[in-house]
Amino acid sequence: MLRPSDLGLLKSVGFTELPVFEKPDVTVIPTGDELVQQNPGPGETIETNGLTVARFVERWGGEPTELDVVPDDENALKEAIRSGLDGDLVVTSGGSSVGQRDLLPEVLEELGEIVVHGVALKPGHPFGFAIVEGTPVLMLPGYPVATIVNAVQFLRPAVKRAMDAPLPPHPTTEATLERKIASEPGVRTFARVKLEARENDPLPAAVPTRVSGSGVLSSVALADGWVVVDEAAEGIDAGTTVTVQNWEASR
């Protein structure tokens, strides 16, 4: 974003016009019968993914339209998805797995074509990608941490591509891993960590807040970043120097 001083400098050296990136329109659709916006009753959960994803879209340069919670109903889901097809991207959260109430894959098969359904990530395995009438539709899982991981890995590049903008790397910090991170071979794992100073180490300590538990939103909110464990590795031992990605600060 250009600051007032930037604009003054540009004008002073003769620039009166500049190329800009057009903000892509992104429709954000949270889904699930159990979700409410406030005052949850028995068996209900406060919906957070719509707000989280919409704010990420804004940070990454898009223009989000956040819909209210859509119930687990085929007709309601179709109507919600169709409402976003005039934009650049549609992103849903919830209902992307293979359970009895996970209707989105079936709905998207009827409306268009599913290109990908299921990725080797933890958390975030049920991610999916479809094309409906030429518009990309990204299916994020319903668990909040899995939603964030998938949004950073897939939605952020999609937003940048839609605006024909470069994808900058995440800010990173080198740190010493405080405790071993276990991971499953063949699955890329995103372990949330908090950075803490240590007296006898020039590097901060990377303290895992949690590896499993894709519904524990506090493990992300309390973290300073995450350590990515490659799918070829079987975890990372304590004492290893690791790279912590500060994805929250990424644009």
pTM, full prediction? 0.90
pLDDT of residue 99: 57
* Integer Cα distance of 27 and 137 in angstroms: 9
What is the pLDDT averaged over residues 187-193?
95
Confidence check: pLDDT of 100 > 60: no
What is the pLDDT averaged over residues 191-203?
93
Question: Does residue 234 fall inside a structural domain?
Answer: yes
Confidence check: pLDDT of 18 > 70: yes
The CATH number of whichever domain residue 66 belongs to comes to 3.40.980.10
Boundary residue ending a domain (143, 162, 181): 162
110 in the same domain as 28: yes
What is the pLDDT averaged over residues 12-30?
92
Per residue in 29-87, pLDDT tens? 999 999 999 999 999 999 999 999 999 999 999 999 999 999 999 999 999 999 999 99
Calculated CA dihedral for residues 131, 152, 51, 209, nearest 10 degrees: 140
pLDDT of residue 250: 87
Give the DSSP H or E segment for 53. helix 49-59
Are 151 and 140 in contact by the 8 Å Cβ rule? The answer is yes
Boundary residue ending a domain (101, 136, 162): 162
Give the CA distances from residue 232 to residues 69, 87, 136, 186, 212, in Å, rounded to whole numbers and listed in that order: 38, 38, 30, 6, 18
180 in the same domain as 157: no
* DSSP code for 125: T
* Integer Cα distance of 103 and 96 in angstroms: 7
59 in the same domain as 35: yes
* DSSP code for 1: -
96 in the same domain as 64: yes
Mean predicted lDDT score pLDDT of the chain: 93
Which domain does 239 fall in, by range?
172-249
110 in the same domain as 32: yes
Question: Does residue 12 fall inside a structural domain?
Answer: no
158 in the same domain as 70: yes
Boundary residue ending a domain (115, 141, 162): 162
101 in the same domain as 59: yes
192 in the same domain as 98: no
220 in the same domain as 125: no
176 in the same domain as 158: no
Question: Does residue 150 fall inside a structural domain?
Answer: yes
237 in the same domain as 190: yes
Question: Does residue 156 fall inside a structural domain?
Answer: yes
pLDDT of residue 115: 97
Question: Does residue 18 fall inside a structural domain?
Answer: no
pLDDT of residue 101: 65
Question: Does residue 36 fall inside a structural domain?
Answer: yes
Question: Does residue 9 fall inside a structural domain?
Answer: no
Q: How many domains does the chain have?
A: 2
185 in the same domain as 81: no
The CATH number of whichever domain residue 225 belongs to comes to 2.40.340.10
Question: Does residue 214 fall inside a structural domain?
Answer: yes
